[in-house]
Amino acid sequence: MHLSEARHAFVTGGASGLGLGIADALAARGVAVTIADINDEALAQVVASRGNSFRGVVLDTRDREGWQRAKAEAETALGPVDILISNAGIAPNGKGFAEMDPESFDRIIAINLTGIYNGIWAFAGDMARRGKGHIVCTSSQAGLVTTVTGVGAYSAAKFGVTAIGEALRAELAPQGVGVSLLFPGYVQTNLAANTQRIGGDIRQYSNFTMTSDVTPADVGEMVAEAIEQDAPYIITHKDIWPGVERRMTAIKAACDYRLEH
């Protein structure tokens, strides 16, 4: 979808980090933006700082009634949503499966996987009926590989998002609706603090050095470009492939073994 044809984007997790970077990139191209976020204070600050180009709506993406309210409010103000950025998420808890509380697993799945689905549930049908639209789902490098310890529950959610995005792309292509999957590597954002703010547990990773020169604004530009190209996958970092290749090589070896035995 060329962004000159898009009038209204709805961005979850839009009050911070990657969501805000994406919202800024879309607004810079003349798209009216609704940012939806659970953090009402950050939402108010962002809307105040952006003047008239953003509207804010408080939403917990786990809350399906809340989705209906937020959708009605946003579309009454700015018209039908052409672009959904289903992005809100929380950080990995830093724990292995054997040591994490079930509540922590459930929270990660509820926000990082079901919350992404809830946005699709709210908007995809309308886009299909109108024969127009684009959906971006935020997965992660951890939605392609599972090599870092303490990220298992997060990876389970993000692999689920990867599956949703790929399936949704095939389902909606005949209706003229595009779908892209965003796979960020590490980007400096407020993810850890925002996770703790809503009661999520988080333990520092011991085997992972988190540095990056990719910014949320860079990711916003990549997403805007990908929407225009209807790109299936958006890779933010140059060093993601070796881990993916190792996984694919191991899967291929197992396939080759079956061919031979």
Ligand X SMILES: NC(=O)c1ccc[n+]([C@@H]2O[C@H](COP(=O)([O-])OP(=O)(O)OC[C@H]3O[C@@H](n4cnc5c(N)ncnc54)[C@H](O)[C@@H]3O)[C@@H](O)[C@H]2O)c1
Residue ranges binding ligand X (CB under 6 A): 12-13, 15-19, 37-39, 42, 59-62, 87-90, 111-112, 115, 138, 140, 184, 186-187, 189-191, 194, 198
- From residue 227, give the alpha-carbon distance in Å to each of 165, 178, 210: 14, 8, 28
- Say whether 154 is catalytic: yes
Q: Nearest distance from residue 176's CB to ligand X, in Å?
A: 27
**Of residues 117, 154, 205, 257, which has the active-site annotation?**
154
- Return the number of the residue (178 or 200) whose C-beta is nearest ligand X: 200
Cβ proximity to ligand X: between 44 and 128 the closer is 44
Three-class DSSP category at 9: strand
CB of 194 to ligand X, least distance (A): 3
Q: Which is nearer to ligand X, 32 or 85 (CB)?
A: 85
Relative orientation angle of helices 102-109 and 152-172, to the nearest 10 degrees:
20
> Are the C-beta atoms of residues 214 and 141 closer than 8 Å to each other?
no
Q: Closer to ligand X at the Cβ: 16 or 93? A: 16
Q: Would you tell me how many other CB atoms lie within 10 Å of the CB of residue 231?
A: 17
Interatomic CA distance for residues 92 and 102, integer angstroms: 14
Give min distance, CB of 196 to ligand X, in A.
10
DSSP E strands, 54-205: 54-58, 83-86, 133-138, 177-183
**Using an 8 Å Cβ cutoff, are 152 and 94 in contact?**
no
Encoding tokens for residue 82?
């052409």
Least Å distance, CB 67 to ligand X, is 10
Residues designated catalytic: 154
